[in-house]
Amino acid sequence: MDFATFLGIGGGFGVLIMAVMLEGSKLSQFMDILATNVVIGGAVTTTLARFTLGGFMAAFMTGMKAITFNHHVSARDMIEKIAELADVVRKQGPLGLEAVEIHDNFLAKGMRMIADGFDAHVIRETLERERDLHIERMEDANKMFNFMGNAAPGMGMVGTIIGLVSMFSHMDDPKKIGPGMAVALLTTLYGAVIANVVALPIADKLQIKALEENINHTLVIDGVIMIRENKSPAVIRDMLLSYLPQKHRAAFEEAA
């Protein structure tokens, strides 16, 4: 589970709730069905209009899965695992890989292809295609949450206009002026909160995850191809060090 996402979003709402309580107001005063309908419903439907229904659902599920579950393996751990697998192939041959437990699905697929005797160029093409399609799905999810984050403040302004029109049309009834102004302000608040606390942070998190996974998958592809070419574990480890930040390479080499 990616605790940073939940801590950030939950903390953002916590700060807002604390601000309301410190101000002396009730949370119920900040809840309004019309504002919720206009901002959340409007942001979702305007975002849906930019996608097909299937594309919207796929992007939403990809995004939620990516921010909920953190399956990222550090480049250092991945290099160590690849070197370990290379040692298995050197000692036992490609079929020895079938007895090794591999938790990373992408790396496991590459090892299965080696064990099945696929040529290096076939392995590379297959893994690169899978990597590119996965990153494309992550980018679609990023776009969807970005669209939602950009739409929410706009729908908040629409709700504000609705509230102001309602207020001005009931100037002869002082009892309805307050509720109309409340709706006008709450829709602006909802739009800002949905955009800046939920949608845009999720979009940025997906962009970061897509970059990390692109690098990690490329590292795996290079490592798998070198194992297929029967390079030694030491050579593979040295060649994959380029994926580590410069400041981490010395510590890695000392540990190795």
150-201 pLDDT tens trace: 999 999 999 898 888 888 887 777 777 777 788 888 999 999 999 999 999 9
Distance CA(128)–CA(122), nearest Å, equals 10
Task: Give the helix, strand, coil percentages of the chain, each rounded to 5.
Answer: 85, 0, 15
pTM (two decimals):
0.84
Q: DSSP letter string over 83-140?
A: HHHHHHHHHH-GGGGGGS----HHHHHHHHHHHTT--HHHHHHHHHHHHHHHHHHHHH
Who contacts 242 (Cβ-Cβ below 8 Å, separation ≥6)?
A: none
Distance CA(23)–CA(52), nearest Å, equals 44
User: What is the per-residue pLDDT for 246?
Assistant: 72
Distance CA(159)–CA(167), nearest Å, equals 12
User: What is the per-residue pLDDT for 248?
Assistant: 66
| pLDDT for residue 249 is more than 70 | no
Who contacts 234 (Cβ-Cβ below 8 Å, separation ≥6)?
A: 83
Evaluate whether 183 touches 159 at the Cβ level (below 8 Å): yes
Question: What pLDDT digit, counting tens, does each position of 39-49 carry?
Answer: 999 999 999 99
Distance CA(57)–CA(144), nearest Å, equals 10
| pLDDT for residue 254 is more than 70 | no
Three-state SS string across 150-209, please?
A: HHHHHHHHHHHHHHHHHHHHCCCCHHHHHHHHHHHHHHHHHHHHHHHHHHHHHHHHHHHH
Kindly state the percentage of the chain with pLDDT values over 70.
Answer: 95
Number of H helices, E strands in the chain: 11, 0
* Residue recorded with tokens 């307050």: 178
Evaluate whether 78 touches 107 at the Cβ level (below 8 Å): yes
Who contacts 49 (Cβ-Cβ below 8 Å, separation ≥6)?
A: none
User: What is the per-residue pLDDT for 76?
Assistant: 85
User: What is the per-residue pLDDT for 1?
Assistant: 56
